[in-house]
Amino acid sequence: MLTKYLLFTPGPVNVAETLRVAISKEDICHREPDFDALLRSIEHKLISLFQIRKQTRYRAVVITGSGTAANEAMLSSVVGKGAILILSNGEFGGRLHKTSLIHNKRTHLIEMPWGTAFDLNQIEEYLSIHKIHVIAMVHHETCSGMLNPLPQIGAIAKAHGALFVVDGVSSVGAEAIDMETSNIAFVSSSSSKAIGSYPGLSFVVGRKKHFKKLKHHAAKTTYLNLATFYAFLKNHSQTPNTPAVPLFFALEQALTDILREGVIKRYARIKARADMLRVGMRRLNLEFLIDDADMCAILTTVRVPPSISVRDLRNRLREKSIIIYEGKGCFAGKVFQVGNIGELSDYDIRYFLAALKEVLLTLQVKAAEPMAAVISMPATVAMLPAPNLFQAKVVS
């Protein structure tokens, strides 16, 4: 029996039925023309997710490994002997820093408190003092839900002759990313977030001219060397090592579905879902960690109401087949996170809001607290039956 949950997380996600079919396609060998064609199709479709006017100037390599693999591939492959500056304002910026320290002796860091926007003047000033060859930043800092400004940082990088490298793990597939205007040399992402496929694959999209130069750097890893990925892609339309072929079939299907819907249309649909969730949660008098204008379209970070334990909230929602995220690090116990990617319908969102209301009421009554936080909730929002999705997709 497959237990079914509605994944209101920033990934992994509930995948479409088309992907469940695609992942169980025929067995093929990754050193045969079938796989070459599959990889070419994936590459073309991945590049189409971005706003790129001259698509022939870009290439995309696909890595068997989660988003961290793509980030480590970029950080270990693009720096050479030069200096890299990591911009961090959260958990994932911190991870970029940690990874870079392993591979790059000359790793610099500008660090802001979690959930705080970068100070562009500070970055400018830092670059006018230090010679930096590469700047790396997370686009959507998933720990807070904050979207960091690509065009502004890209312009600063260009002005100082630095390559701009972006962790787009939780934004690619949901947010418009203009590679050219933002001067992005390389961007990473993963299969299992806004793209809506299974976990296990990640990729790096980059300018061909930058991929070509990677071979001049001494290799720092075997498995995650981007120069090797690029050489195999260019020469054979293959990957250097054995890829997780079924995941490639699923990724190809996810990308086909996205392009069929239309990239911009899809981004607007994801944003509309976020808006629906945000309006509903505000009606429950919940407050968000950051301003709407700074949020990514895939995730809402919500302050935990006083007297409520986020662990209890999660557990109670799980009993209703709903999965949310808890805050980590300095946000632990203070926030919870609600994602809106994957196969979630409008009904699922209404079901979530009704379940959240019921659980908050129950927990507040249990804590014998005044009902202040929920007292003005609309009385008409009754608990809805669990979505049909559960029954339809249960496999015995």
Ligand X SMILES: Cc1ncc(COP(=O)(O)O)c(C=O)c1O
Q: Can you give the binding site for ligand X, defined by CB under 6 A?
A: 66-68, 71, 92, 138, 140, 142, 167, 169-170, 190
If you write DSSP's letter for every residue of 207-257 in order, what string do you get? Answer: EHHHHHHGGGSPPS-STT-HHHHHHHHHHHSS-SS---HHHHHHHHHHHHH
Neighbours of 276 (CB within 10 A): 16
Cβ nearer to ligand X, comparing 92 with 248: 92
Least Cα distance to 144 among 303, 20, 263 occurs for: 303
CB of 191 to ligand X, least distance (A): 9
According to DSSP, the residues that pair with 88 across neighbouring strands are: 111
Cβ nearer to ligand X, comparing 69 with 360: 69
Q: Which helix (H) or strand (E) holds 156?
A: helix 150-159
Cβ nearer to ligand X, comparing 223 with 390: 223
Instruction: Residue count of the chain, please give it.
Output: 396
State how far the Cα of 138 lies from the Cα of 167, in Å rounded to an integer.
4
Cβ nearer to ligand X, comparing 74 with 233: 74
State how far the Cα of 294 lies from the Cα of 65, in Å rounded to an integer.
29
CB of 74 to ligand X, least distance (A): 11
Cβ nearer to ligand X, comparing 167 with 348: 167
CB 395 within 8 A of CB 382: no
CB of 281 to ligand X, least distance (A): 21
Cβ nearer to ligand X, comparing 60 with 74: 74
CB of 9 to ligand X, least distance (A): 9
CB of 111 to ligand X, least distance (A): 16
CB of 15 to ligand X, least distance (A): 15
State how far the Cα of 385 lies from the Cα of 329, in Å rounded to an integer.
35
CB of 85 to ligand X, least distance (A): 18
Residue labelled with tokens 């976020």: 274
Query: What tokens were used for 215?
Result: 């071979």
Least Cα distance to 39 among 12, 25, 59 occurs for: 59
State how far the Cα of 293 lies from the Cα of 36, in Å rounded to an integer.
42
Report which residue's Cβ sits closest to ligand X: 67
Cβ nearer to ligand X, comparing 156 with 296: 296
State how far the Cα of 194 lies from the Cα of 68, in Å rounded to an integer.
16
Q: Which residues contact 3 (CB under 8 A, 6 or more apart)?
A: none
CB of 95 to ligand X, least distance (A): 6
Least Cα distance to 248 among 57, 7, 46 occurs for: 46
CB 155 within 8 A of CB 120: no
According to DSSP, the residues that pair with 134 across neighbouring strands are: 84, 163
**Backbone torsions φ then ψ of 109, nearest 5 degrees:** -140, 130
State how far the Cα of 91 lies from the Cα of 109, in Å rounded to an integer.
14
**Backbone torsions φ then ψ of 45, nearest 5 degrees:** -70, -35
Cβ nearer to ligand X, comparing 68 with 228: 68
Cβ nearer to ligand X, comparing 71 with 239: 71
Cβ nearer to ligand X, comparing 150 with 308: 150
